[in-house]
Amino acid sequence: MINILGKPSAKQNLIGKAKGTQLKISVTAIPDGGKATDHMVRFLAGEFGVTNADIEVVFGRFNINK
C-alpha cells in the first residue's frame, strides 16, 4: 500500500518526491466528484504497466490524502 498526497489541477501528470510518509502525485484533472482520483488511477496504471482495476483507492477518494 502506498500513502499518496494528491495534487489536482496541476500543469502536468507527474510522480513527485516523497513528502514525509506520502508520495506526491500531481494530475491535470480538476477535483470534481472524484474525477482527479479517477485520473490519478489511470495515470498510475499507465506508469506501472497495470490495469486500472489493479489499483485500488482504499481511502481518500474525495480528499488529497489517499
Which domains does the chain possess?
4-54 (3.30.1200.10)
Q: Could you read off the pLDDT of 27-44 as tens digits, one per residue?
A: 999 999 999 999 999 999
Question: What percent of the chain is modeled with pLDDT above 90?
Answer: 92
* Cβ atoms within 10 Å, residue 64: 16
In this model, does residue 50 exceed pLDDT 90?
Answer: yes
CB 4 within 8 A of CB 39: no
In this model, does residue 1 exceed pLDDT 90?
Answer: no
DSSP three-state, residue 22 = strand
Average pLDDT over residues 51-62: 95
